[in-house]
Structure 1
Amino acid sequence: SQRSLAEITELIHTAFLVHRGIVNIGELKSCDGPLKDMQFGNKMAVLSGDFLLANACTSLAQLQNTKVVELISSAIGDLVQGIYYENSKSSEENCLTDDIGISTWKEQVFLSHSALLAKSCQAAMELAKHSAEIQDMAFQYGKHMSMSHKLHLDLQPFVKESSSDTMAFSLNSAPAVLHQEFLGREAWIKQIRDNCAHRHCRNPPRCACVFRQLQEAIKAGKGVTSAIDLCRSHGKRALAALERFPPSKARATLANIV
């Protein structure tokens, strides 16, 4: 049933969240706590995530629909690929930010954030025996809704008014990627280094001193406004996909999520 599919999707999502909690032992410092505790925590994270994933796969098989199994299996593959890319990039030494444009950013975000929801929406329509056209509209809704949500999260450090310290943000977030695209790669790297007060710092983006200056620089550029426009665009495309469905309470609820 569609409810079972929703539970399976949530199990898979939770399993990957647990796996993301694995700590890189090599980067730990003495102040982080006993090494044995971290090692035990890593083992539990792996086992717990695998347990959830195994249960999800068992429940998926019980749906007895090969098309649904194919869709969700491919979504799991997309998740693995997206997370592998994130980890491989973050582990590179002296890597300030990824040298990517917004189109590549979209591809990566689809793999790590949107694929599971988009394909689950499509699978739900398959279970209800809707046409291929309706299934595609459900896929488009899930894809664009999750993309809009990710952009919204990326924008928060740049648009949220707060009297507290600078909110943490990723230099590979959408506003930063768009800022780099407008500014140029070389100028962006120079801006990162120039904004760091500690000239001997080996990794400027991880210094607390650099984030406030970079945040202000990104705010002053076109990256934030472009990210806002992109967020609205994906939201509108999600709503447009919903318009293909007949009016109902369920459709109104899905529209409110966007």
Structure 2
Amino acid sequence: MKPQQIFSIVEDDLQVLNKNLQSMVGARHPILSAASEHLFSAGGKRLRPALVLLVAESTSDQQLITASHKRLAEISEIIHTASLVHDDVIDECLTRRGVNTVHSLYNNKVAILAGDFLFAQSSWYLANLNNLHVVKTISKVITDFAEGEVRQGIIQFDCNMSMTEYIEKSFYKTASLIAASCQGSAMLSKLEFTLQNRYYSYGKHIGLAFQIIDDILDIIGSHHKLGKPVGSDLKNGNLTAPILFSLSDSPELLYIITNEFENDTDITKAIEIIYQSKGLTKAKDLAEEHIQAALTILPNKNQIPNNTSLHGLTMLGEYILNQI
């Protein structure tokens, strides 16, 4: 199996999910309806729902995905999209997934309300799963999002930020939802408690690797892959793994960031310095470490040779690395 074929394992279910998302968040107010339709028509990687479905298929009896699994996949994408709407307002990002952001189309008030509405809708559908353990697990994610944003806001342009702080922030902003989605899927499959926790750990490491690679792409990636301008995080003072690794080698980069890119050419210069340092390589190595940690948690695919979804979960790390 090639990494790009992973999503094909659950392709039919993802196509149904894409159709369901817009109807699930249908709103009475035309502005909210238009905002929601705009968000979901933009697409995206659908990584989180794909993980829910892959975990479901690899852990369920006869590799069947239940209606509850499919609903959890939809909920995970709604929560993720709601967080992006709020992120775009905070970061003043004008494009996302290659299209204009909600606040750039309307205004900040509409964008915040649209994000709140999506969080509310996800909570309602989550409650209707009638599984208290899943509700508790996924609900904690929304708290984590807020924690991550507060942490990021406090440490903007802070060159004394540690790698531990970066990993913690990345967990709250990205890995928490991925970890909880994997665990929630395992819960719906009625796995024993220890196995549920193992899928949580798998999702946590996959989520951290995904965020680190995304942060590398912010420096080197094309606008097409990112769906937003290159260097957006850097410009906003969000210091990520490649930047933190590069800072230890470059007093000039430290000076530029500490002065918050006071000159028009500073962003370009900072990116050049990061390219010339070992920061990008060290960041990729860190992502690979988390992918290896995730793979050690999964059951041995050789012991379950016919489980295509399990094989897909093992290949996901390679898919993430191939985004660079």
Instruction: Note the 1:142-221 alignment, pairs <5 A.
Output: 142-156=203-217, 167-168=230-231, 170=234, 172-180=239-247, 182-183=248-249, 188=251, 191-193=253-255, 203-205=259-261, 207-221=263-277
Is the contact between residue 222 and residue 230 of structure 2 (CA under 8 Å) also seen in structure 1? Answer: no
Q: Which of 62, 67, 71 does residue 4 from structure 1 map onto?
A: 71
Pick closer, same or farther for the CA change 1:157–1:72 going to 2, 3 Å. Answer: closer
Q: Which of 56, 64, 81 does residue 130 from structure 2 map onto?
A: 64
Q: Distance in 2 between matches of 1:133 and 1:244?
A: 16
Q: Distance in 1 between matches of 2:198 and 2:90?
A: 39
Mapped pair 1:233 → 2:233: no
Deviations 1:175-220 (A, max 9, x none): 111223x34xxx74x5443x69xxxxx9442544123332333333
TM-score under structure 2 length normalisation: 0.62
Match of 2:150 in 1: 84
3-state SS in 1 of match to 2:107: helix
Mapped pair 1:250 → 2:306: no
Q: Distance in 2 between matches of 1:23 and 1:219?
A: 27
Match of 2:166 in 1: 105
Q: Identity rate of aligned residues, in percent?
A: 29
Structure 1 unmatched runs, 5+: 26-36, 91-95, 197-201
Q: Distance in 2 between matches of 1:206 and 1:115?
A: 34
Structure 2 unmatched runs, 5+: 1-67, 93-102, 224-228, 318-324
Query: Offset at 1:8?
Result: 0.9
RMSD of aligned alpha carbons: 3.0
3-state SS in 1 of match to 2:149: helix
3-state SS in 2 of match to 1:205: coil
Is the contact between residue 159 and residue 254 of structure 2 (CA under 8 Å) also seen in structure 1? Answer: no
TM-score under structure 1 length normalisation: 0.76
- Bigger radius of gyration among the two: 1
Is the contact between residue 101 and residue 178 of structure 1 (CA under 8 Å) also seen in structure 2? Answer: no
Is the contact between residue 119 and residue 139 of structure 1 (CA under 8 Å) also seen in structure 2? Answer: yes
Mapped pair 1:136 → 2:197: yes
Query: Offset at 1:242?
Result: 2.4
Bigger shift: 149-158 or 97-106? 149-158
Query: Offset at 1:123?
Result: 1.1
Is the contact between residue 137 and residue 244 of structure 1 (CA under 8 Å) also seen in structure 2? Answer: no
Mapped pair 1:117 → 2:178: yes
Is the contact between residue 138 and residue 181 of structure 2 (CA under 8 Å) also seen in structure 1? Answer: yes
Count of equivalent residues: 228
Q: Distance in 2 between matches of 1:134 and 1:102?
A: 29
Instruction: Note the 1:3-42 alignment, pairs <5 A.
Output: 3-22=70-89, 41-42=107-108
